[in-house]
Amino acid sequence: MSANNKCSIQEPMFCSMNDLDLMFNQQKNQFPVEALINAEESAPENTKWSFDKNTLIIYNNKYWKGFFPTDQNFMAIRYFGGFWKRFYKETGVIKGITHPYETPTVFAPNLPELQSDNKTLGEVIHLKYTSPEYSLFYDLLKIIDKDTVLGKAFLGVFPFSIQILTFSMSRKYRVDFMTEEDHQTIYEKHSSSPSEDQVMGKWSGKLVSDGSLTPVEQTFVYTKDNVGKLQMEYTFGELLRGISQVVLTPDEMKMYDYTNWHDEVKIVNDNFMIGKWCSPWTNIPLKFGPSFLSTETSPEGNRFCLRFTLHRE
C-alpha cells in the first residue's frame, strides 16, 4: 500500500503536501491550547511513553513528534532533519520548545496563543518564537484530536509572510516512524532473543532515523545450510550481498560476515524484529554521526551503530 493510500486525519504522517494543506484548511481546531501540554518529567513512565507490541504502536508524550509531507523536498528534509515540539506550563503560562533533531544545540522557545479571528483558516493556535534569531518565523497549528496536530510554518510577520512548510505532529505513531530513542527502549525492554523457528523466512528492513520514514533498504533471508546450520543471506540497498553466520545467545541473535561490523537482533513479535549493525568497540571518543548512525557507550568503550527494523514478508 502506498503512503498516499494510508493518508488520513488519524495518520497524517502518510499524507502529501496537498493533502495536508487541504486537511488544515478544512479541519477545525478541536481543543484549547492546554491540550498541547506534554507529560512532566516527574510523571509516571507509562504516561510519558508506552509501546504495544501487538499493534506496534508507540505512544510518546515526552513531546510531539513532527512529520514532513511524504513528497517534501528531500534536500529540505535533510537540512531540517525532522523535529519535535514540547509544551509545558511555567508560572501559569504555557510555553513551547522546538528542536530539530539534526541540530543538537537548537531549542527554539515559543509561546502558543489561540487566535479565533483568522478570516481564512478559522480558529488557529499561533506559535510565536520569542528568541531574536527566530523572531521572523511563526507557526499556525490546529489540534485535530488529542494526539494529532496539523501545522504550517511561515517566514515573515503576519500578514506579510510566506508559507515555507506544511507538517503534522503526533503523540502516537507506528514503529516505522520510531526515533533512535524509541528503538533503544524497545530493544532493551520490549524484545527478546529469537529462536531458529521464529526467524526462518524472509524479512524486509528499514533504517531508523529520527527525522523521516525510510524506504526498504535491506532484505534478510534466514535458511539452513546443507548441514542444517542457521544462516542469513542479505542484500543491502540492492548493492551489497552476502551470507552471515548466525549465533543465537540468551540475550540476542548475532550475525557475522566478512566485515568487522556485526548485527545484533531481537524479536518483538512473530512478524517484527529490531536490530543494530555495529562497529567494534573502541576506546577512541566517537562524535555524533549523521542520521541513521548513532553512537553507543558502555564499559567496553564506544561504537557506531546503524539501527534498523525488520518486518516479515
User: What CATH number is associated with residue 278?
Assistant: 2.40.128
From 63-77, 172-186, 192-206, the region with the lowest mean pLDDT:
63-77
> Tell me, what's the pLDDT at 79?
44
Average of per-residue pLDDT across 219-247: 92
Same domain, 213 and 307: yes
- pLDDT at residue 212 above 70? no
Per-residue pLDDT at 213:
62
Residue 4 has pLDDT above 90, yes or no: no
Last residue of one domain, picked from the residues 174, 194, 215: 174
Cα–Cα dist 235/218, whole Å? 5
Give the model's confidence band at 1: pLDDT under 50 very low, under 70 low, under 90 confident, else very high. Answer: very low
Same-domain check for residues 119 and 218 = no
The reply to whether 37 and 157 lie within a common domain is yes
Burial of 75 (0-12, 13-18, 19+ CB in 10 A): exposed
pTM: 0.91
Judged against a pLDDT cut of 90, whether residue 210 lies above it is answered with: no
Which pLDDT score is estimated for 289?
57
Q: Could you tell me if 270 and 243 lie in one domain?
A: yes
Q: Does residue 2 carry a pLDDT above 50?
A: no
Do residue 107 and residue 186 come from a single domain? no
| Residue matched to cell numbers 486537511 | 23
Q: Are 15 and 69 in contact (CB under 8 A)?
A: yes
Q: Which pLDDT score, from 0 to 100, does residue 78 have?
A: 46
Range of the domain at 213: 178-312
Over residues 90-123, the pLDDT tens digits come to: 999 999 999 988 788 899 999 999 998 777 889 9
What one-character DSSP code corresponds to residue 193? Answer: P
Peptide bond into 159 cis (omega under 30): yes
- Cα separation of 219 and 202, whole Å? 7
Sheet bearing 49-52, strands edge to edge:
49-52, 57-60, 172-174
How far apart are alpha carbons 211 and 179 in whole angstroms?
Answer: 8
Residue with more model confidence, 294 or 246 = 246
Same domain, 39 and 82: yes
What's the structural domain count of the chain?
2
Is the domain of 162 the same as that of 187? no
Report residue 76: phi and psi, to 5°: -65, -40
